[in-house]
Amino acid sequence: ERLDERLRTDAYADLDASANGLQVGPGGPAEADPDIDHAAFAVDAAVETAERAADAQSDVLCVHHGLFWGEFERATGPTYDRLAPFFENDLALYVSHLPLDGHPEIGNAAGLAETLGLEDREAFGTLGGEHIGLRGRSPDEFAPDELRDRLATECDPEQGVKHLDFGPERIENVAIATGSAADWLDEAVAAGADAFVTGEGKQAVYHEAREAGIHVYLAGHYATETFGVRSLLSLAEEWGVETTFVDCPTGL
Amino acid sequence: ERLDERLRTDAYADLDASANGLQVGPGGPAEADPDIDHAAFAVDAAVETAERAADAQSDVLCVHHGLFWGEFERATGPTYDRLAPFFENDLALYVSHLPLDGHPEIGNAAGLAETLGLEDREAFGTLGGEHIGLRGRSPDEFAPDELRDRLATECDPEQGVKHLDFGPERIENVAIATGSAADWLDEAVAAGADAFVTGEGKQAVYHEAREAGIHVYLAGHYATETFGVRSLLSLAEEWGVETTFVDCPTGL
Amino acid sequence: ERLDERLRTDAYADLDASANGLQVGPGGPAEADPDIDHAAFAVDAAVETAERAADAQSDVLCVHHGLFWGEFERATGPTYDRLAPFFENDLALYVSHLPLDGHPEIGNAAGLAETLGLEDREAFGTLGGEHIGLRGRSPDEFAPDELRDRLATECDPEQGVKHLDFGPERIENVAIATGSAADWLDEAVAAGADAFVTGEGKQAVYHEAREAGIHVYLAGHYATETFGVRSLLSLAEEWGVETTFVDCPTGL
Amino acid sequence: ERLDERLRTDAYADLDASANGLQVGPGGPAEADPDIDHAAFAVDAAVETAERAADAQSDVLCVHHGLFWGEFERATGPTYDRLAPFFENDLALYVSHLPLDGHPEIGNAAGLAETLGLEDREAFGTLGGEHIGLRGRSPDEFAPDELRDRLATECDPEQGVKHLDFGPERIENVAIATGSAADWLDEAVAAGADAFVTGEGKQAVYHEAREAGIHVYLAGHYATETFGVRSLLSLAEEWGVETTFVDCPTGL
Amino acid sequence: ERLDERLRTDAYADLDASANGLQVGPGGPAEADPDIDHAAFAVDAAVETAERAADAQSDVLCVHHGLFWGEFERATGPTYDRLAPFFENDLALYVSHLPLDGHPEIGNAAGLAETLGLEDREAFGTLGGEHIGLRGRSPDEFAPDELRDRLATECDPEQGVKHLDFGPERIENVAIATGSAADWLDEAVAAGADAFVTGEGKQAVYHEAREAGIHVYLAGHYATETFGVRSLLSLAEEWGVETTFVDCPTGL
Amino acid sequence: ERLDERLRTDAYADLDASANGLQVGPGGPAEADPDIDHAAFAVDAAVETAERAADAQSDVLCVHHGLFWGEFERATGPTYDRLAPFFENDLALYVSHLPLDGHPEIGNAAGLAETLGLEDREAFGTLGGEHIGLRGRSPDEFAPDELRDRLATECDPEQGVKHLDFGPERIENVAIATGSAADWLDEAVAAGADAFVTGEGKQAVYHEAREAGIHVYLAGHYATETFGVRSLLSLAEEWGVETTFVDCPTGL
């Protein structure tokens, strides 16, 4: 129906890059599927999320992390196991990876920036000619501990947030790149950020942050990337599609 | 059961290269599937051959040309359509491409050399460090037309064989590389062959053959590549597996 | 003289790409040769066509398939043999490969489209940013057998045309890419063509055409590529150059 | 002196690969420095560790993570800042990265395997033709929680260990690859491990472990990689060199 | 101070390419260093030139040939020795290689063209989309020997100039590419130059020049590349910076 | 005849690498040409040397620098002009480049080492797994000026030899790599040579030699590479082939 076509063409078209769009399904990657009644949304495509989407009678599972990364040349072993629930339940798989990281309104970083109340937002996290994050200014500066607690509340109250406490006492400029984006620390420093928020860290970040004098907050890969798929879910609901959010936190 | 394990480990293990082995199925590519009762054999993996194999209650379809050539990153459109009959019918796909071309006993060129009665066979058609064909000597030399007719009878009586008649009047040494192997004409010339037999030609072969003074016989891509899968079928029957040959000639 | 310069600069300049233009001759590849009295035209550059051009007192042989494909680092063996008649007879070699495939008026596909009476022609067969074929609409739809017979008459009445008869009963939209262009079948399907005409096929085309529901006509690599060089010949005659067509069909 | 030469030639020579060995210093990368009186050891080369090594009057700082990863073409900005304390204090930098991960006796995984009491150790974690980890069998099987607590005690009692609890109830076979080695989870599964121990995880590990049914323990990148440099320190002490361990935990 | 910022941003910004700009120093490559009182200028960065610049109390050494060509992954051996005088004397290194070759006003070729009185200058010596030389017309044609003597006087009166005397008797059009630019001889021929001036030759130039009928003058790599750094020195003096020219001729 | 076959198989076979062997001629690159009566020898293949070889009634021109370096895809312009004298005079071209540099007895460096009376010769100048030069010990040490004069006498009395006088007062160990081999200066230093002899220099050699404390002698590219072709000429004479040496010094 018309709303479903809009789901594809109007909202997603501008998101499409590399391996994004339809990953499993009878149509071509850019084709509109005319009969979506129920759409499920999850961060990761996996056996568990596919089965829970099928249990909810979904026609399509929309995710941030898809099944196919780079080339593959067999459908055997784990690849077979992950494809099977899609074929067996007539379930399509729709993926939006980097486009959903960087989208200025419904992206992951955008959702997190919104909850932190950042203003004067600009694109951040260059990758090729595109961006995968956002940065902005907090009208009321954060104290370092205050920002850590805010992030913990919004992202993962249970696990909390890891804080590398090497920056200034008042935090005005915040750069955000969700997921595993520690490689963009340098860009955050160059952009004059007081704090850099991402999901997963990596060992080398510690001394880089210390020597550059910047706060780093690691708020969880899964936790920081629920914002985008939840925005897609809201959009689908506005179009009259039934929706299910398949929450399957990894604690990572 | 034991016989099926032999099908994998004893016969196929030495064939395995590049994208060969299990291409679709729950196990890993080198794993023995313990319950094969019925195996189908075809030259090409396609919707039609998969459905005919499923109709025959096969557990596995063994082919020369598989579904996956190089990288792919989506299971959509034609790829989805070709994968679906395998997932929906619990049908595995087993592939042996170049290993089955070059195998000195059960390979495509070997089967064709056998029907032509060639002796003193040697490996031919180097690709990397391996070979994809065979060459041999005919104890009774062929007249050029006689070899053309023999090939037509063995390969494709209906379509016949295309003959580039630029070689000597008596043919003793014959080089064979089945399928689309026109690029090995140079190697046939360098090896002193009087005739080169392959499946499909290509335009440039005409003047190359004419200038080198060699016979070229184009006996059909499909027709020259039924020899290998038929040999595999016989092997499976010896092990007590039920078999079906899915004949689906392309005329190419 | 002036007409010869026009032969280079006016007509060929827009055709020039990759390895095209002058391949053998004392001038640079883009230089006008001021004294062409007699030009020969053939599909392939080879010993036979070079010698027949020299016998006709030609100053230049214009072909679709030249001598040099990619790198070479010696002038020995077959390369020496093919170069020798050019050096010994002061015969230049002028080549137009892909430019002559895709030219919308004097190209190979254009000539074939003209004989079929196709209208509303558009570029087809993308390669890089260029095209190597044409597609168009037949004002009077063809029956599948009718199109096969028309192609046989125009291209190669002796060998006929191979027809993969998997498309609709009436053919309106026809996509053409001459020579060995089976890889563009997908693009023909995506463009909504009812029939795809090319020169040589390859084995994989059979199931692709069957599953996509499209007619494929294989009308001969040599036969479909005489149209372009004949158009060049006519152009040269208009400019007052004496011409010879060296017809050397390969049957492929 | 003689002992220092042994430090280079006897102990390190077999470790040397890619960018390992001397990274900063007046000699060539394989040259023995004849006058090392005091050697400092740290996990990471950074401004802080270099300055603490210089404060301890060290002649050389030996680390697991060096300054140079891949190409660089300027000594400016952070690179300048990190090089400066070495040049200003006549401090050399000696690096052993992957060789120290995979060394069967003094490597990082070897040290961790030793503390866990694993037996029948074999090389694990293939990279090129080399290995970066170890696997072994526990004579007394671990309960899943027991292994988590043992790792926390040995590695990082403060931060604890993240446990993805998807494996069997008794753990006999343990595969270890320290640092950021989540990509070797597949190899651990293929080797039949009940548990895989590494330093840092990454988001995709969660579903991979869940679908494969294996325990994953993330014991800290820094924490799991102190074992190797401590072994080097002991070796240097045996040779009579004064030593300092520069402990600078990153919490990552 | 302001003048120094202009030194960076106004004059050098348009020169910056590949490995140019600041190569050694605490700031980033594009950063303005606010306190340059004394700048030294030399053709080559080397131990000798660095030490002579430090003796002159310079804050920065500006050169045409820097220390870093392509990747390096250690600061040991000769690399250590060349970096040491910069770190030990707080001396920065600023490099302008190809940008200084091709700059139409302050570049090496521009300086040489000026001394020869060439008019109607155009860019010459294409490399990527840029140029590394200049060509122009002499209002009073040179006799071949006259041009050789002029070049010897301007460049290196002691060593003289090597002359491959294969061109016409009067020289009007002169193409210049300083340093080791013999590979651009073809472009000089194609541009209709009567003479090609460069620094170093190479063996193959002899027959290429002879067969093309062009004069080649080899005026010294060092000698032809002092023009650019001297222009930079003048520019710096205009801005009020103290300067030193470190002349260290190589005779090559 | 038999001697000619020995010219190919016995003497040249072990020399053959990359683009060496027959470069122009009707046979294949490894084929013995059965009728060589007269062979000419020169350093460079060029129009002039080919014409002088043809004037001497040669069947083959044997050179160190051939016509083909890397890929080419046209025989036009200068390439046409250089090929023409070979085709028009039935003159073959035989090339031995790096093999003739590195051959321990008849190579360029070997010939030069012989004239200098070096003993204990070893391979020098690694390139891939092969060598392109030699090094040895002088039983009577040279004074630096003495070696310069000896080289001038042997190589090019007219032009003399350029000497970078940065090494010790007595020269015992000498490394030789003829032609343009300045990139092997580092290897000469690492091998403990007191002096490095090559043909052409390049600008960067000056400071490298100065900082390493080694003598560098630039004795001419052409001059240092006449030794090998003269050795081949002697060999051919021993086999009874008439010979001509085409001396065409470039002064480079």
F38-44 and F242-245 beta bridge pairing = parallel
- Which tokens hold the place of A11? 């909202």
Contacts of D73 in chain E (CB under 8 A): 19, 23, 68-72
Q: For D83-102, what is the mean pLDDT?
A: 90
Percentage, residues of chain E above pLDDT 70? 88
Contacts of A19 in chain B (CB under 8 A): 73-74
Handedness of CA A96, A98, A99, A102 (dihedral sign): positive
Residue A16 pLDDT level (bands cut at 50, 70, 90): very low
pLDDT at A246: 97
Per-residue pLDDT of chain B (252 residues; tens, 9 = 90+): 333 343 443 444 444 333 578 889 886 544 445 578 899 999 999 999 999 999 999 999 999 999 877 667 788 888 899 999 999 999 999 988 888 888 888 899 999 999 999 999 999 998 877 789 999 999 999 999 999 999 999 998 888 899 999 999 999 999 999 999 999 999 999 999 999 999 998 899 999 999 999 999 999 999 999 999 999 999 888 888 899 999 999 988
Residue D7 pLDDT level (bands cut at 50, 70, 90): very low
Is pLDDT of C104 > 80? yes
- Which tokens hold the place of B218? 């184009």
Out of A63-67, A194-198, E96-100, E144-148, pick the least confident.
E96-100
Q: What is the tens place of the pLDDT at every residue in A234-243?
A: 988 988 889 9
pLDDT at E120: 97
Q: For F192-201, what is the mean pLDDT?
A: 95
Comparing alpha-carbon positions, the chain C residue that sits nearest to F88 is C88
Contacts of F185 in chain E (CB under 8 A): none
Alpha-carbon distance B45 to E48, whole Å?
A: 71
**A:50-69 residues touching chain B, CB 8 A cutoff:** 68-69
Comparing alpha-carbon positions, the chain E residue that sits nearest to F202 is E252
Out of A57-71, A85-99, C38-52, F162-176, pick the least confident.
A57-71
A 10 A CB-CB count for A230 gives: 17
Interface test with A, best of D81, D108, D206 (most A CBs within 10 A): D206
* B210, B231 contact by CB (below 8 A): no
Who among B25, B69, B81 is closest to A80 (CB)?
B25
Handedness of CA C240, C241, C242, C247 (dihedral sign): negative
**A:4-33 residues touching chain B, CB 8 A cutoff:** 19, 21-29
Q: Write the single-letter amino acid at D52.
A: R
pLDDT at A8: 43
Mean model confidence pLDDT for chain F: 87
pLDDT at E102: 82
- Residue A146 makes CB contacts below 8 A (sequence gap 6+) with none
Q: Identify the three-state secondary structure at position C15.
A: helix
DSSP run (H or E) holding F3: helix F2-6
Alpha-carbon distance F177 to F161, whole Å?
A: 15
Phi-psi category of E90—alpha, beta or left, where left has phi over 0 and alpha has psi -120 to 50? left
Q: Identify the three-state secondary structure at position F93.
A: strand
Q: Which chains touch D (3 or more CB pairs under 8 A)?
A: A, E
Greater model confidence, F164 or D16: F164
Q: Which chains touch A (3 or more CB pairs under 8 A)?
A: B, D
pLDDT at A71: 62
Residue B90 forms contact with A (CB below 8 Å): no
In chain B, alpha helices (H): 2-6, 47-55, 77-88, 98-102, 108-116, 144-155, 185-190, 205-212, 221-224, 226-238
- Which tokens hold the place of E234? 């003048």
Is pLDDT of C228 > 80? yes
E195-198 and E171-176 beta bridge pairing = parallel
Strand arrangement of the beta sheet that strand B119-127 belongs to: B119-127, B130-142, B171-176, B195-198, B215-218, B162-165
Greater model confidence, F237 or F174: F174
A 10 A CB-CB count for F243 gives: 18
Handedness of CA B51, B53, B54, B56 (dihedral sign): positive
In D103-252, alpha helices (H): 108-116, 144-155, 185-190, 205-212, 221-224, 226-238
Alpha-carbon distance E223 to A18, whole Å?
A: 52
pLDDT at A19: 57
Alpha-carbon distance E124 to B122, whole Å?
A: 59
Greater model confidence, E14 or A189: A189
Is pLDDT of C75 > 50? yes
Percentage, residues of chain E above pLDDT 90? 64
Which residue, chain included where needed, has tokens 């090594």?
A: D53
Phi-psi category of B176—alpha, beta or left, where left has phi over 0 and alpha has psi -120 to 50? beta
Phi, psi for residue F85 in degrees, rounded to 5: -60, -25
Comparing alpha-carbon positions, the chain B residue that sits nearest to C213 is B78
CA-based nearest distance E34→chain F, Å: 31
pLDDT at B34: 54
Is pLDDT of E86 > 90? yes
Residue F87 forms contact with E (CB below 8 Å): no
Interface test with A, best of B33, B65, B76, B91 (most A CBs within 10 A): B76
pLDDT at F28: 53
Strand arrangement of the beta sheet that strand F195-198 belongs to: F119-127, F130-142, F171-176, F195-198, F215-218, F162-165
Contacts of A108 in chain D (CB under 8 A): none
Residue F83 forms contact with C (CB below 8 Å): yes
pLDDT at A13: 41
- Which tokens hold the place of C17? 């790409």
Residue F84 forms contact with C (CB below 8 Å): yes
Greater model confidence, D156 or D69: D156
Which residue, chain included where needed, has tokens 């925005």?
A: A231
- Residue B75 makes CB contacts below 8 A (sequence gap 6+) with A23, A24, A25, A68, A75, A83, A86, B83
Is pLDDT of C144 > 70? yes
Which residue, chain included where needed, has tokens 């008026």?
A: C105
Alpha-carbon distance C126 to C123, whole Å?
A: 8
* A146, A169 contact by CB (below 8 A): no
* C205, C212 contact by CB (below 8 A): no
pLDDT at C40: 95
pLDDT at B12: 45
Residue E123 pLDDT level (bands cut at 50, 70, 90): very high
Mean model confidence pLDDT for chain D: 87
Residue A208 forms contact with D (CB below 8 Å): yes
Q: Would you call D76 and E22 a contact, using CB atoms and an 8 Å cutoff?
A: yes
Residue A34 pLDDT level (bands cut at 50, 70, 90): low
Q: What is the tens place of the pLDDT at every residue in D207-232?
A: 999 999 999 999 999 999 999 999 99
Phi, psi for residue E64 in degrees, rounded to 5: -90, -40
Residue F166 forms contact with C (CB below 8 Å): no
Phi-psi category of D211—alpha, beta or left, where left has phi over 0 and alpha has psi -120 to 50? alpha
Is pLDDT of E97 > 90? no
CA-based nearest distance A12→chain B, Å: 17
Comparing alpha-carbon positions, the chain F residue that sits nearest to E252 is F203
Residue F18 pLDDT level (bands cut at 50, 70, 90): very low
Alpha-carbon distance E239 to F166, whole Å?
A: 39
pLDDT at A131: 86
Q: Would you call A74 and B27 a contact, using CB atoms and an 8 Å cutoff?
A: no
pLDDT at B2: 38
Q: At what angle do helices E226-238 and E108-116 cross, to 10 degrees?
A: 100
Q: What is the DSSP letter of D18?
A: T
Q: What is the tens place of the pLDDT at every residue in C210-226?
A: 999 999 999 999 999 99
Interface test with B, best of A16, A73, A96 (most B CBs within 10 A): A73
Q: Would you call D84 and E87 a contact, using CB atoms and an 8 Å cutoff?
A: yes
Q: What is the tens place of the pLDDT at every residue in E192-250?
A: 999 999 999 889 999 999 999 999 999 999 999 999 999 999 988 988 889 999 999 99
Who among E23, E73, E75 is closest to D74 (CB)?
E23
Q: What is the tens place of the pLDDT at every residue in F89-141?
A: 999 999 888 888 888 888 999 999 999 999 999 999 988 777 899 999 999 99
Interface test with F, best of C63, C76, C79 (most F CBs within 10 A): C76
Residues A98/A100/A103/A108 CA torsion (nearest 10 deg): -110
pLDDT at C4: 39
* E243, E38 contact by CB (below 8 A): yes
Residue C202 forms contact with B (CB below 8 Å): yes
Q: Write the single-letter amino acid at F135.
A: R
Chains B and E make contact, 3+ CB pairs within 8 Å: no
**What would the DSSP string read from start to end of chain E?**
-HHHHHIIIIIIGGG--TT-EEEEESS-TTPPPTT--EEEEEEE-SHHHHHHHHHTT-SEEEEEE-S--S-B--EEHHHHHHHHHHHHTT-EEEE-SHHHHH-TTTSHHHHHHHHHT-EEEEEEEEETTEEEEEEEEEEEEEPHHHHHHHHHHHH-TTT--EEEE-S-SSEEEEEE--SS-GGGHHHHHHTT-SEEEES---TTHHHHHHHHT-EEEE--HHHHTHHHHHHHHHHHHHTT-EEEE-------
DSSP run (H or E) holding F120: strand F119-127
Phi, psi for residue C174 in degrees, rounded to 5: -125, 130
Who among E27, E69, E74 is closest to D29 (CB)?
E74
Q: What is the 3-state secondary structure (H, E, C) of A160-200?
A: CCEEEECCCCCEEEEEECCCCCHHHHHHHHHCCCCEEEECC
**Residue in C171, C182, C115 with CA at minimum distance from that of residue C141:** C171
Chains F and C make contact, 3+ CB pairs within 8 Å: yes
Alpha-carbon distance A178 to A180, whole Å?
A: 7
CA-based nearest distance B34→chain C, Å: 31
Burial of F69 (0-12, 13-18, 19+ CB in 10 A): exposed
Who among E204, E208, E252 is closest to F205 (CB)?
E252
Contacts of A251 in chain D (CB under 8 A): 162, 164, 206
Q: What is the tens place of the pLDDT at every residue in A186-215?
A: 999 999 999 999 999 889 999 999 999 999
Q: What is the value of pTM for the model shown?
A: 0.85
Residue A96 forms contact with B (CB below 8 Å): no
Residue F162 forms contact with E (CB below 8 Å): yes
Q: Identify the three-state secondary structure at position D121.
A: strand
Longest Cα separation, chain F: 56
pLDDT at C143: 97
Give the length of chain D: 252
- Which tokens hold the place of B130? 């391996």
**E:221-240 residues touching chain F, CB 8 A cutoff:** 221-222
* D185, D137 contact by CB (below 8 A): no
A38-44 and A60-65 beta bridge pairing = parallel
Out of C247-251, D42-46, F76-80, pick the least confident.
F76-80
* F245, F230 contact by CB (below 8 A): yes
pLDDT at C98: 83
**Residue in D78, A143, B184 with CA at minimum distance from that of residue E31:** D78
Q: At what angle do helices E205-212 and F47-55 cross, to 10 degrees?
A: 80
